[in-house]
Structure 1
């Protein structure tokens, strides 16, 4: 009985939701360019057919496209045209097309569909893709769609939605192969052959005990090259990487990268096997996290061209207002040296150079630090080494830039002292920039914040204000101005 319960586990083997993209599936005629992007004149012809109300022409134009290209076409159209296109090609709007759509575009289309239609699409998808489809709906629409799902799918989706966003529990696939540990290799091969519904790709078989806890894995290559009479416990790999359902997706991606994983088991709080993560999931996560960190550094929100204008406005304006406040700090520094600047106009000409180069140097260090924190290269164990490294680089960069700018200014203004002052100020500000570029994201992380969130604003404030302060103070102290 234990064997049947384990092998027949509902989450064990299930249908896939994705169709592999093959080169011969692609449309490589007048619709796509050499980089497999839809041509502008083709998109224009679809738009013209939509405007003319010729649904037949629209269908004929779109029907040869691959699902991914149909999704691209929908995204390229204006928001008001997308629903009209979807109605014209209703039977081409498969789950594969929906899964390929940008989040904002998919949300618009899904909200326009009845709950039964959304449930039908969700039933065709892998659980992780179905969850992604449903999770962005408001609570009432979510409940309506879930109520229309088949009981097994409904339970899986509800279970996934119970986990926080961007965790393994939300993203894992519930389609995997799990077998009891008392099986032999021959038993396993026969079992797999008997399962007519194994259509999804898998890279290893999970071996579980009677409590459905993973005790090892068998790679397909081992199964195919091992005699039938060998027991799985004699050939399986006992050392495995287990992913808790509550682990953040970024940490999951780091584990795959660190241990060179192709797939890994996901376990619940009791250590029971509930799903798996595969490397194709990780590719999406890495791409998403990299883009997210780059945009957070600039305070640009999601940075998606399909994001509603009001959402983009709200995401960006708060950081612009914050930048306005930090810029006032630099202005207050300048205000303290009004008389000095009036004495020598050249100082006003050269001030932006000191601040600008310092800001660029700080942004370089900041980018390296944020990436090191995101990939766990920078931890408490090597913080001071990282600071020393960046200060050393800053010293070398500062010396080089200081020598160049000092020489140019001395010759241009026929004033060696002015050249020495700006060169010294440049060296100091680049050193300050290197220090701030490390400390600002570290401080934000210590405060339990995201070190990528608009750190550049505070680094720029530091390099601007300190650059002005050092440059103008040196001008006074050196006797360059009275």
Structure 2
């Protein structure tokens, strides 16, 4: 083969082009791989970010629950975890909750969901949850707890909370739980249950901090530091004589500000309020509210110290009493939000039956004026106005009276003044609304006489509503009945009967 310079010259660029093409191809392949890898990595990264965002949101919900209680976000997250049967996430959500919030969460769910919420925490079940739960719900979930959890929970609770847990259970369940606690604890619970319900004896806790009168501040402080049998929370130290009768009380703030050699007898408060063990819990709450107490000693008939009541217990009592009054005003014996269908129906039946009897009485009054109503159809249209206005006005006076009696603000001293005031309020409101109703009636039916009868009947009924709205609760209180029970039924009956009787009676006399 001969050498051809021209050919050689032409083959060099071709070789260079070939090399360049191959290099470009390799570069493009590497770039495509990198692009695909980058795209895949970015996709995985975005997915990971979404997971982290969900975890952050869950964490924030948990922290929000820790700071602000049971929020709607936490509730929705818990419901979602329950529906997805995600036990790990559910545990992470409920773990930060305060016992009171966890108790609310349990109460808001169904039977099967409550069981899951209780069992998932296992041995980490907080004893305070039992004290915070509604009685019906507490009795429902106790069988879900193991004997080990129950015994440790009841042992760690203060005696007042333990007695509160036992008090809402049946006898068989009480016996079963008593067998799971120590002998000393069982004795304290049995003694507490021996007191009547809704008394200071049931409300008090047996763990008390007391010292003899001849101790110094230094001895007392050392005692508080080394004793292992002190209550979890306490605010006052009670100074006792040899017979264990309280001579005075010493606040922790006063103790810590005083020098060690000073006798506690020299700095104690000698004027303090004692609570008798059989005092009604409503009276105890009134005592705390009136004098701004944070704790008070409980004594028996011999003036010996048997326990103490703290302000947190009294807050619960105030809530219970207010709830009780509100329920009874509505004809409901007790809070049946968590009760069964049968028990709720049975509890409400009696007051509905009484309401039926009173409604029949009002119907009898209407029936007596049947001929009058037949002659003037306008009477049938307008008479509900009179009865309705009277019922509402009577309920207003009744509510004020019941609350004032419960707060000890309405007594024999100012009862007559209160009755006169409510009657006057009824009169002035009656005049104002009589004018309004009369004008409406005149424009509606074009009859001035009917308008005058309506206005007169309304004034009469609102006066009666104010009078009996005040008198009925006071009268029931004088007869030693709870004024919250039955007052609304009687007041409604009075205003219905008087309203129909006055309106139809005046119409029959002047118009027929």
Mark yes or no: TM-score above 0.5.
yes
Correspondence for 2:224 among 170, 176, 192:
192
Unmatched 5+ stretches in structure 1: 1-23
C-alpha distance in 2 between matches for 1:337 and 1:121: 67
> 2:51 matched to which residue of 1?
none
C-alpha distance in 2 between matches for 1:343 and 1:134: 65
> 1:14 matched to which residue of 2?
none
C-alpha distance in 2 between matches for 1:32 and 1:329: 55
Q: 1:298 to 1:29 in 2, by over 3 A?
A: closer
> 1:481 matched to which residue of 2?
511
CA shift at 1:207, angstroms?
Answer: 0.7
Give 3-state SS (helix, strand or coil) of 2:177's partner: helix
> 1:376 matched to which residue of 2?
408
Q: Deviations over 1:84-129 (max 9, x none)?
A: 3322331232212222222211110114556665333211111111
More displaced, 148-157 or 361-370? 148-157
Q: 1:70 to 1:474 in 2, by over 3 A?
A: same
Q: 1:278 to 1:26 in 2, by over 3 A?
A: farther
> 1:47 matched to which residue of 2?
82
Correspondence for 2:434 among 385, 388, 402:
402
1:28 aligns with 2:63: yes
> 1:10 matched to which residue of 2?
none
More displaced, 34-43 or 268-277? 34-43
Q: Work out whether residues 26 and 65 of structure 1, in 8 Å CA contact, stay in contact via their aligned partners in 2.
A: no
Q: Work out whether residues 344 and 481 of structure 1, in 8 Å CA contact, stay in contact via their aligned partners in 2.
A: no
Q: Work out whether residues 210 and 239 of structure 2, in 8 Å CA contact, stay in contact via their aligned partners in 1.
A: yes
1:338 aligns with 2:373: no
Give 3-state SS (helix, strand or coil) of 2:308's partner: strand
> 1:272 matched to which residue of 2?
304
Q: Work out whether residues 300 and 312 of structure 1, in 8 Å CA contact, stay in contact via their aligned partners in 2.
A: no
Q: 1:70-85 residue pairs with structure 2 within 5 A?
A: 70-85=102-117
Unmatched 5+ stretches in structure 2: 1-58
Correspondence for 1:202 among 234, 243, 260:
234
1:367 aligns with 2:402: no
The number of residue pairs the alignment matches comes to 454
Q: 1:81-92 residue pairs with structure 2 within 5 A?
A: 81-92=113-124
C-alpha distance in 2 between matches for 1:33 and 1:263: 27
> 2:8 matched to which residue of 1?
none
C-alpha distance in 2 between matches for 1:469 and 1:187: 77
Q: Work out whether residues 331 and 485 of structure 2, in 8 Å CA contact, stay in contact via their aligned partners in 1.
A: yes
Q: 1:110 to 1:458 in 2, by over 3 A?
A: same
Q: 1:458-473 residue pairs with structure 2 within 5 A?
A: 458-473=490-505
CA shift at 1:186, angstroms?
Answer: 2.7
More displaced, 40-49 or 150-159? 40-49
- What TM-score results when the alignment is normalised by the length of structure 1? 0.88
> 1:417 matched to which residue of 2?
449
Q: 1:72-471 residue pairs with structure 2 within 5 A?
A: 72-113=104-145, 117-198=149-230, 200-471=232-503
> 2:35 matched to which residue of 1?
none
> 1:12 matched to which residue of 2?
none
Q: Which has the larger radius of gyration?
A: 2
More displaced, 317-326 or 184-193? 184-193
More displaced, 166-175 or 227-236? 227-236
Q: Work out whether residues 340 and 481 of structure 1, in 8 Å CA contact, stay in contact via their aligned partners in 2.
A: no
> 2:24 matched to which residue of 1?
none
